[in-house]
Amino acid sequence: MKAFFDERQLGHAPSFYFRRGAAMPHQEQPQRAEILRDMLLREGFEVAAPQDHGLDPIKAIHNPDYVDFLPDAHARFVESAGEDALAIPTMHPGRRRGKEPADIHGQLGWWMTDTSTPLTEGSWDAAYWSAQTAIEAAEEILSGERAAYALCRPPGHHAMRDCSNGFCFFNNACIAANYLRQKFNKVALIDIDVHTGNGSLDILYERGDIFFCSLHPDPANYPTFYLGHADETGEGEGAGKSLNILLEMGADEAAVLEALDRGIAAISDFGAEALVVSLGFDMAADDPLAGVAVHAKGFGQMADRLAAMSLPTVLVQEGGYLGPSLDDNAQSFLTSFRAALK
């Protein structure tokens, strides 16, 4: 199982963001990807840089105007606000009546939902190559490989069609799932990050060709809030093609594995021909953003269950922050998945 990663993904280096009204160190640091990359090399995975597949696969998922806003947004912000200011939105249009303004500060509020995606000098390159990493992994599947791992950083599953959200700029998993539709009629995306895959739900909610399932605590009381409730099952052609499986706060491995089995059964009923996994190691009990309590052995069991589906699979990295067990959890999942392929 080949892995993909581009060193330019380390260029997004936000120093802080606001959480519950307080400024705090940003959780989504380049070191996350370095830990995962170094584990892959230590465990004998081949790690390759992705090719450049351009903007078309990204714009197939995201509003093209949103995509075009990002490349020079940081430079324009610095020109207006200065080097010491934090490139975050400080005003918002409410529930999206109105039009995109020309001013950079208004544009930040138009295209960005919160303070967790501050733009830095390297943010565009990092987000772009994170998406290319997911596309390259999907290309590996289209070429006939059974599985591939995309070490995507920054992550993607909170990014909606036309806005950044929750550390995420481009929805790498949705981009990969849509890319797989070139070959597969039915694709499933299962999100095992501890947070709701709210961006994926937003993007896929009316699609009947990509089944979406997310395991997460109740968004009524746990970030990212707003989306991911049990009664949100899709609309139009997507009716019945979205499944949110709610976990109790602090749920143990047995409860998480039971929920995963429910998701796998639903994907089987859908008749999926290929699979994308939004892989979040923030399910870990000691993750800084922990909501449930999975340990290294449990991540290995999750990998075994997903590999046993015997579907062509793209693993797309989402969360998993700088907790003590990040290396161990990633090693357990990825080596277990690789072993199950043999």
Catalytic residue positions, numbered: 158
As given in the structure block, the two tokens for residue 116 are 């967790």
Q: Distance between CA 191 and CA 279 in Å, rounded?
A: 7
As given in the structure block, the two tokens for residue 24 are 């705090």
Of residues 215, 79, 67, the one with CA closest to residue 131: 67
| DSSP letter (8 states) at residue 319 | -
Phi/psi of residue 32, each to 5°? -55, -50
Of residues 187, 137, 165, the one with CA closest to residue 62: 165
CB-count burial class (<10 Å; 0-12, 13-18, 19+) for 59: middle
Q: Distance between CA 189 and CA 176 in Å, rounded?
A: 9
Alpha helices in the chain (DSSP H): 30-42, 56-59, 64-69, 73-81, 104-111, 123-142, 172-180, 198-204, 253-270, 296-307, 326-340
Q: Distance between CA 4 and CA 136 in Å, rounded?
A: 7
